[in-house]
Structure 1
Amino acid sequence: MSDRPHGREEFRAAVDAEIAPRAARFDRDQSIPGDVLRRMGELGWWGAILPPETGGAGMDMVTLGELHEEVGRGCSSVRSLLTVHSMVSYAVSRWGSDEQRARWLPRLARGETIGAFCLTEQRAGSDVANIAATAVRQDDGSYVLDGGKRWTTGGQIAGLLLVFARTGRGISAFLVERDTPGVEVRPVHDMLGTRGSMLAEIDFRDCRLGPGALLGPDGFALATVVTGVLDIGRYSVACGCVGILQACLEAGARFTAEKGTRTQPLSEHQLIRQMLTQTVTDVTAARLLCRQAGELKDRQDPQTIMATWIAKYFASTAAARAASDAVQIHGAAGCAPDHPAQRYYRDAKVMEIIEGSTQIQQIKIAEEAYRWTAR
């Protein structure tokens, strides 16, 4: 469709028109208004990862990465919602039954139903195998779900919850509708960053799920759904971090070109140029790492998992450094409540924690280094 932009320049124009000018308000209000969510559906962004026959845009992974980069440049909260929705959409498309796909994919593609990813618990974050939520199979094939999930992005508005719980055969994935009896959603406010992503804590108390709620075989989720879906999420976050880097670069370059001391413009100060040089180098390298990960995904190359770990590690740490420099460059103005630099700074720190913390990534990447040397 003509109003569905599917290239970097079109994505950038749409973000500049629809998202970036309102990002400070999203952060301040700690929510994304309905008109923005609907517009994302009109643009085809909710269904970007889904095939055209389901109503999706059918983007390849490189193009998807460009979309998430540009959205991340405009607002990390919006990009976070897009990330988890894409994760749920991918899971249903990849592992859903014919009935699940027919029921949910068109609604997910339009953004009529927003998806949320319910994995993290009070004592289960990076250690996914430590999940305590349970789903007990009943004689009639149904399940009774009990447990609590924390830090659920989009949980305040999601209509479809992808929930991971322990079953007798391991960890399984379930598609749970928000209005299922026993589901309790509690909004989470005043987080450090991505404040507009509408986080929630979600409790499940004696929730009865029909056999059709199970996504994939019983006990199937840990080695497949979790790994595959988190890889999509990690890729999105990495690309979003490239967007933060780009935003920091543009803000810093504009400010220093326009401002100065009594004797010389800020752009002539060597230490200012050092910070901008580092950001230019980092955004270029991070973008290339993300592109490599996307190309490997498009080829279904198993090396994409490690390539995505590397891209996310580099991009998130670089974004945190660039955002710190952006605040420093802007001085006191960069610390003001509605200044973009302080929002980049807060959002970038979150990126070092979600979808695999910096420390977990270091462990994974170091393991790969030992495998390389052992070949």
Structure 2
Amino acid sequence: MIELLLDEQKDKYNEFCSFAESNVQPYASDWEREERISKDIVNKCIEQGYLGCTIPEEFNGNGWDSITYGIFTEAIARSSTSLAGLFNVHTMVMQTLLKWGTEEQKNKWLYRMCKGEILGAFALTEPDAGSDIRGIKTRFTPKGDKIILNGKKRWITFGGLADIFVVFGMMDDESGKPVACFVEKNTPGFEIIPITNMLGFKASYLAVLEFNECEVDKENIIAKPGFAFSHIAPYALDYGRVSVSFTALGIIGGCLNYCCNHVLRRKTFNSRLIDQSTIKEMITKMGVDYEAASHLCINSCKAKDMSNPNYAEKVMIAKYFTTRAAHRHADNAVQIMGATGCNENHATARYYRDSKVLEIIEGSTQIHEMILGNSFTKKFRKIEKK
């Protein structure tokens, strides 16, 4: 991947890798067992100024382009996909604020989010509504200059650690329009219930959010009712899919690192593992998919930063290809590593668990197939001669 980067991006990538190797990799297994990342690593990320990510410098952000954000995610994900998940949801909330927030909302939260003083999470999914967001049951009832929230969100990444949430629901009035709203953690009527014992992303503070007559200022509404599903959610999810794509790329890269070292060192039947044809095939497919996924990820970010009208589809293609490849190769990595790869404390075991989750979050593989299948059919249909 690194040969696809500009010199400045290469320097940043080396910085990110060095940071992850020193501050993330040695502790990732402990975080998985404890099912929570350490607040120490959050503080170290704050010290490095990483929480600002893609936000312009005028708001105390880093002003990274999408590629720099992606390679940061890739470097972190090699060591901990859970920590990469924190930057995913935090960035989605910050970008929502930057794009759709009022000046008052930005002044109230965006500066502090860039500094890492408060963390954000994205509350879209419900027990009965995942990719089908039109099935959302959370209701916002107008009451003077307030709105009253009632409903439940589930599987909210870093819901147990975040300070502010972007919450989606429907207006409970004559309009019945979809709406999004900022809700702070300590708002009365808002309860956060931790979720544990997940297959992957074990340290990502998953939570259920329950709203019981939760009263929020109308000033917290994002944009205007009617825009939540058509504009706000898709815009944020594009950043989420960039993050997930590069997280999957980091898993493939991590699998290559561990497996290549192993097959060069380990001997069976008086020869190295790499001399076995079946192992060569696994490593070849892993390396080729890493190269292909790198191009897809980088090109999708270029399209996004250049406001290419098809950038959202390119991001989706990158997410679809890379997450499926990560799951295949994490499976093979465990096979190559043998019993070592089955040890819960080894990175390849984490890759195996986490890669499955990547095929589900930010739009499942099957949802992408529904969308991309229609898109490709329209693009490549044969034009019949009259």
Which TM-score applies when normalising by structure 2? Answer: 0.94
Give the match for residue 153 of structure 2. Answer: 149
Quote the Cα distance in structure 2 between the aligned partners of 1:213 and 1:358: 33
Specify the SS of the correspondent of 1:62.
helix
Please tell me whether residue 28 in structure 1 is matched to residue 33 in structure 2: yes
Q: Which residue of 1 aligns with 2:321?
A: 314
Q: In structure 2, how many angstroms separate the alpha carbons of the residues matched to 1:215 and 1:44?
A: 27
- Residue identity opposite 1:125 in structure 2: G
Of 249, 256, 260, 2:263 maps to 256
Letter matched to residue 49 of structure 2: G
* Runs (5+) with no aligned partner, structure 1: none
1:80-91 alignment to 2 at 5 Å?
80-91=85-96
Which residue of structure 2 lines up, in the alignment, with residue 246 of structure 1? 253
Does residue 1:213 correspond to 2:217, yes or no? no
Q: Deviations over 1:264-289 (max 9, x none)?
A: 11121111111010010111111110
Shift of 1:55: 0.7
- State which drifts further: 217-226 or 310-319: 217-226
Say which SS state the counterpart of residue 160 (structure 2) adopts.
coil
What secondary structure is seen at the aligned counterpart in 1 of 2:122? strand
Q: Is the 8 A contact 2:359 2:365 kept in 1?
A: yes
| Whole-Å separation in 2 of the counterparts to 1:6 and 1:33 | 27
Q: Report what 1:325 is aligned to.
A: 332
In structure 2, the partner of 1:52 is 57
Asked if 1:296 corresponds to 2:303, the answer is yes
Whether the aligned pair in 2 keeps the contact of 1:248 and 1:326 (CA below 8 Å) is: yes
Which one of 375, 379, 382 corresponds to residue 368 of structure 1?
375
- The 8 Å contact of residues 121 and 148 in structure 1, kept in 2 or not, is answered as yes
Q: Secondary structure at the match of 1:308?
A: helix
What is the number of equivalent residue pairs in this alignment? 370
User: Residue 215 of structure 1: SS of its match in structure 2?
Assistant: coil
Q: Which runs of 4+ in 1 moved over 6 A?
A: none
Amino acid aligned to 1:97: T
RMSD across aligned positions (CA)? 1.2
Give the secondary structure class of the aligned counterpart of 1:216: coil
* Corresponding residue to 2:115 among 110, 113, 134: 110
Deviations 1:190-225 (A, max 9, x none): 100010001000100101111211011122211000
Counterpart-to-counterpart distance in 1, 2:59 and 2:378: 40
Alignment of 1:118-267 (within 5 A): 118-138=123-143, 140-167=144-171, 168=173, 169=175, 170-267=177-274
User: Which residue type is aligned with residue 45 of structure 1?
Assistant: Y
Residue 141 of structure 1: CA displacement? 2.9
Give yes or no for the alignment of 1:352 onto 2:352: no
Contact 1:6 1:63 in 2 (8 A): no
Return the offset for 1:258.
Answer: 1.1
- Structure 2, unmatched stretches of 5+, are 1-9
Residue in structure 2 matched with residue 63 of structure 1 by the alignment: 68
AA in 2 matched with 1:65: G
Identity %, equivalent residues: 35
2:29 partner letter: A
Could you state the TM-score of these two structures normalised by the residue count of structure 1?
0.97
Q: Does 1:280 align with 2:284?
A: no
